Structure 1
Amino acid sequence: MNRNVVFGSALAAVLTSAASLAQAPAAQTAPAPVAPQAVPAKIAIIEYEQAAAATNEGQRSLHEIQQKYQPKKTQLDALAAEIETLQKQLQSAPATMTDEDRASRARAIDTKQKQYQRDAEDASNAYSAEVQEAIGKIAQKLGPVVIKYVQQNGYTMLLDNNGQQQGGLTLMWAPGTDISQAVVDAYNASSGVAAPLPAAPSAPRPQPTAPTAKPGASK
């Protein structure tokens, strides 16, 4: 599933729940019509995906996934180093090397490069899928915390700052208060998950990347 769909669905669930709660009193007898009045908007901004990843639970999940893929990263790094060594050996080969031997070594390098590319792509896709799934689950649980915080603090509009970077046309953007860290703190307090150890990833706004390296191209 596309990561934008995962986090977009999570945020949509938050906004839908908030809207239904806000509209609940409408089921009662409607008061007499009154002249419309302008109400100043109190806008809350959240970086929803990053907030989910920045929670203690998110940091723990990211660390566990990174540890899981560390052996594969080590394997890929070793293969990349081997390819680089073979390339240097071929480039510095004596002029007396036969064309057949030179072509054979070039084919061996090409085979290893293709193996590296396949393995790196497979590892990257698997890593990204696990990160997306893990953070997506936390994003779903983050919803009630966001709703509670927005309602308790009197916000009338909630904007996802991630959405500003996912394409599409933005007709107007109004400044507001970023509640991402406050929501992260509230979620950590309610989840009971301890903060990660110093050795674990601890950036407040992590941007997970697949553990891959690229060998130099053969000449």
Structure 2
Amino acid sequence: MINVSGLNKSFNQYAALADVNFSVQRSEVVSVIGPSGSGKSTLLRSLNLLVKPDTGTLQIGDRQINAETLTRKQTADFRRQTSMVFQHYNLFKNKTALENITEILTCTHKLNKAQARERGMDLLSQVGLAHKADAYPVTLSGGQQQRVGIARALSVDPQVILLDEPTSSLDPEMRRDVLNLIAGLAERNLTMMIVTHEMSFARDVSDRIFFMEHGKIIEQGKPSQIFTASAENRTRAFLHDFA
């Protein structure tokens, strides 16, 4: 499903990603953990090409690209394989909850308005917000806005959903609601990569954990291995307080 080889990204002299290599299987849920500034969000944004890698090859499904020869058409085609859920929701403030979903369906995926509305309402129902279809983001709580963001990500039937710290801007009660929603998605055999600081959540929903530091995946393995029998001293130190 996902194959990444030799991925590098620098900002000025700072290496945000340093020779990153990994694979993710179809229907696998992978949580990416690690200290702030370790490259977790840059990794996710590189998979969506919101950040253009300097070097490396990326493959999602049957689409493969080389960062050094990437064209505009390849970028657009590759992005269609993924959807992103952002830390700060990234909703259009001048559009309703429903319109935030239907916009991409009519403009990019060429559904007519009736089809897009039907799809949008179904997704809002799935995230418990059908009654907020006509509400604007400013009137929604943070948790509700994030649920709209998740519905939007689901709307295009992506091969992979990328979630970049989806609960970090939420208060504890709203955080719990969104985590429960994401856990439900994991049970639907969706392929997901999740950057998170929610260690209990990562342990419970993930098939595998990636631990990152200094732009590298230092260790990866099943949650039982990472949380109770880490091979790397740095991983154990990071998880010491959690354990």
TM-score (ref. length: structure 1)? 0.23
TM-score (ref. length: structure 2)? 0.21
Q: Which has the higher contact order (CA 8 A, sep 6+)?
A: 1
Structure with the larger helix share = 1
Whichever of the two has the greater Rg, that structure is 1
